[in-house]
């Protein structure tokens, strides 16, 4: 008798498995709820987040709302109002359609739903815990829907354990909010984080929405692009090349009002910006792609951020061409005018003076068959060439006249004859200049490595990593000593930042003050730099702070360190000597000595090796 080993999973287990694909972190919940609000036709959407979404994510909208039956049905798997037939997948104009999101969210959190249609007298309320309906009743509710998701992953502790810090999760939440808010400038949005208003976005056009989110400084950075073809319509903005950034983060593609990620199209933008931005920088852009829904497939990824186009090669070429044309049109790219007629390019003429015809002088007495040394030619007798030649010969004769004829004259001059060398003499190029001393030599090699010696052999040091290690431990010591000096700026600088970066700066303010920065907040999206550490006066306050925040965000996702250690790493990377930078002999020596005084001289702050050594015995063995 055979025993069946295949069985159907319970709904709550199936929903938790689906949640693993759809709900990766708190930001995934926010994305699904906001997209549902937009699909419901809302004109006002309010978002409330607490503790990086771990304790509360609430989305309130004034959309169409749901009936009591629909309110209960929406939590069932594969329940959706967006499609009815398989062919509908190729006519999608809505954001959500899979019917798995709400069921997945309800299986791993405490969910409270309040909703009401325009025709209903009372709203309907449902409470769910871990996929189980806990309470269902009528309630007072304005038209629209309110979703509250609390205690995310409370019954899946393994998933909650792998969530990042609140700062990291908050940035992901901010990114999701930004993507949807950018796509719908016709909707009013408000965004509260821990009872603090971060964004209040009013209805406007796409340009105004970008400025409202990223700051007023973007007004001068935006360059419009627009192109309409039978296959695709492009619209939006690119950022001027001089405002490119070292890290990615402000690259936005929207396909039919849906945020997407597309590395192939991003490569097209990079090609258009080629030779206009530094090698390690990234262009920023906000580009809408409008195509026939039949020409795309949005069902290839659970989160719907990756989609497939039917003719990606053509779109690639269109994007590259349109961006290049926009850069040229706004004089942001160097151009050559091959249609200009160059035959009219004539040198400037002084019309105040009479014009003279060119004259040709001929020596009538010149006889080419006369080989005698003396000639009756006036040209040979009186030419300046002959005089020049005579004077030149005389100067060479005078050069050696009576100066170095006698050896005693050389001795009187204090010069040893053996030391006299001529330019034509063969010389052996020196591997190292005469920069050695009794205590060893110090040499920079290829403006990237430092060469020195110890009692065991030769050391090759990576100058950038070595300096990062020295600066890292220096800043950690400053945190411990808390005795730093600040130099006040003659003209304080006001710097604007997007709201997502302002929260980072606020969190870092105490530590920045310890290092010697004098920074004060100025409104919701700006702060004033009044002073810098005394040893950083040569840097631009704006560039220093912007690069520091960018580096800190980049390191926060990679390094498992405390906030102060991450800040010290970011400061060290920003201020360390760069590859290709020439160092003076004394600087090389000082850096080597400082490295050897560090607690961990063998690695950089990020764990990469700072030096390699070649043992003298090994060198002798290989060269003898």
pLDDT tens sequence across 186-234: 999 999 999 888 899 999 999 999 999 988 888 889 999 999 988 899 9
Is it the case that residue 253 has pLDDT exceeding 90? yes
The tokens describing 326, both together, are 């926009």
3-state secondary structure of 275: coil
Comparing CA positions, the residue from 124, 128, 169 lying closest to residue 150 is 128
CA 63, 66, 72, 73 torsion-angle sign: negative
More confident residue, 95 or 497: 497
Ordered by where they begin, the domains of the chain are: 11-204 (3.30.565.10), 211-329 (3.30.230.10), 449-613 (3.30.1370.100)
Q: How many CB atoms lie within 10 A of CB 338?
A: 6
pLDDT at 39 over 80: yes
In angstroms, rounded to a whole number, what is the distance separating the alpha carbons of residues 301 and 307? 7
Q: What are phi and psi for residue 350, nearest 5 degrees?
A: -90, 100
Say which range, 109-118, 205-214, 524-533, has the weakest mean pLDDT. 524-533
Tens of pLDDT along 140-184?
A: 889 999 999 999 998 888 888 888 888 889 889 999 999 999 999
- Token output for 166: 């609140």
What does the longest C-alpha to C-alpha distance in the chain come to? 134
Rg (CA), the chain: 37
The angle at the Cα of 120, spanning 114 to 126, to the nearest 5 degrees, equals 25
Tokens of 511: 């530590």
Between vectors from CA 608 to CA 607 and to CA 613, what angle results, nearest 5°?
A: 125
What is the sign, positive or negative, of the torsion defined by CA atoms of 322, 326, 331, 333? negative
| Residue 504 burial (10 A CB sphere; 0-12, 13-18, 19+) | middle
Tell me which DSSP letter residue 245 carries.
B
> When comparing pLDDT for 383 and 87, which is higher?
87
Q: What is the DSSP letter of 113?
A: E
What is the spatial distance between Cα 338 and Cα 127, in angstroms, rounded to a whole number? 71
Q: What would the DSSP string read from start to end of 286-307?
A: EEEEEE-GGGEE--SSTTS---
Distance CA 507, CA 521 (A): 12
């Amino acid at each position: 008798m055979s025993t069946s080993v295949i069985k159907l999973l319970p709904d709550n287990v199936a929903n938790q498995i689906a949640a693993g694909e759809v709900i990766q972190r708190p930001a995934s919940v926010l994305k699904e709820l906001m997209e549902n609000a937009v699909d419901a036709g809302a004109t006002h959407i309010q978002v409330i987040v607490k503790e990086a979404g771990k304790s509360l994510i609430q989305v309130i909208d004034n959309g169409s709302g749901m009936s009591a039956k629909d309110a209960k049905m929406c939590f069932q798997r594969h329940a959706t109002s967006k499609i009815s037939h398989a062919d509908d997948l190729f006519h999608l104009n809505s954001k959500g359609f899979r019917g798995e999101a709400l069921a997945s969210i309800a299986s791993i959190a405490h969910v409270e739903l309040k909703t009401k249609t325009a025709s209903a007298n009372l709203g309907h309320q449902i409470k769910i815990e871990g996929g189980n309906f806990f309470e269902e009743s009528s309630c007072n509710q304005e038209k629209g829907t309110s979703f509250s998701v609390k205690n995310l992953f409370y019954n899946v502790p393994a998933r909650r354990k792998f969530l990042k810090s609140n700062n990291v999760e908050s940035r992901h939440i901010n990114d999701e909010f930004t993507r949807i808010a950018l796509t719908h400038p016709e909707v009013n949005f408000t965004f509260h984080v821990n009872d603090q208003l971060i964004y209040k976005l009013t209805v406007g056009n796409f340009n105004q929405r970008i400025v409202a989110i990223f700051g007023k400084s973007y007004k001068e950075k935006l360059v419009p692009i627009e192109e309409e073809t039978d296959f695709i319509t492009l619209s939006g903005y690119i950022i001027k090349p001089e405002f490119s950034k070292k890290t990615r983060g402000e690259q936005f593609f929207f396909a039919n009002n849906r945020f997407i990620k597309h590395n192939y199209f991003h490569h097209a933008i990079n090609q258009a910006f080629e030779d206009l931005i530094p090698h390690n920088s990234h262009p920023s852009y906000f580009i809408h792609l409008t195509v026939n829904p039949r020409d795309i497939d949005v069902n290839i990824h659970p989160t719907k951020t990756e989609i497939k186009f039917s003719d990606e090669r053509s779109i690639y070429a269109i994007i590259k061409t349109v961006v290049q044309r926009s850069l040229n049109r706004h004089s942001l790219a160097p151009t050559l005018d091959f249609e200009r007629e160059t035959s009219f390019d004539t040198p400037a003429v002084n019309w105040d003076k009479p014009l003279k015809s060119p004259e040709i002088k001929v020596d009538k007495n010149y006889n080419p068959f006369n080989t005698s040394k003396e000639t009756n030619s006036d040209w040979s007798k009186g030419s300046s060439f002959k005089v020049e030649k005579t004077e030149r010969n005389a100067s060479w004769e005078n050069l050696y006249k009576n100066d170095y004829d006698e050896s005693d004259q050389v001795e009187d001059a204090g010069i040893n004859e053996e030391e006299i060398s001529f330019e034509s003499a063969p010389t052996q190029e020196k591997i190292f200049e005469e920069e050695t001393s009794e205590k060893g030599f110090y040499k920079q090699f290829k403006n990237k490595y430092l060469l020195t010696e110890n009692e065991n052999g030769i050391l090759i040091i990576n100058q950038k990593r070595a300096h990062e290690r020295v600066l890292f431990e220096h800043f950690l010591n400053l945190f411990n000593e808390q005795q730093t000096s600040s130099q006040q700026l003659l003209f304080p600088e006001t710097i604007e930042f997007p709201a997502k970066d302002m929260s980072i700066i606020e969190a870092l303010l105490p530590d920045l003050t310890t290092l010697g920065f004098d920074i004060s907040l100025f409104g919701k999206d700006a702060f004033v730099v009044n002073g810098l550490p005394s040893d950083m006066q040569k840097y631009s306050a704006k560039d220093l702070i912007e690069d520091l925040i960018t580096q800190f965000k980049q390191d926060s996702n990679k390094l498992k360190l405390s906030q102060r250690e991450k800040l010290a790493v970011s400061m060290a990377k920003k201020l360390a000597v760069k590859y290709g930078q020439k160092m003076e002999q004394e600087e090389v020596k000082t850096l080597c000595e400082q490295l050897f005084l560090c607690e961990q001289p063998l690695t950089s702050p990020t764990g990469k090796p700072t030096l390699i050594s070649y043992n003298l015995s090994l060198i002798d063995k290989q060269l003898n």
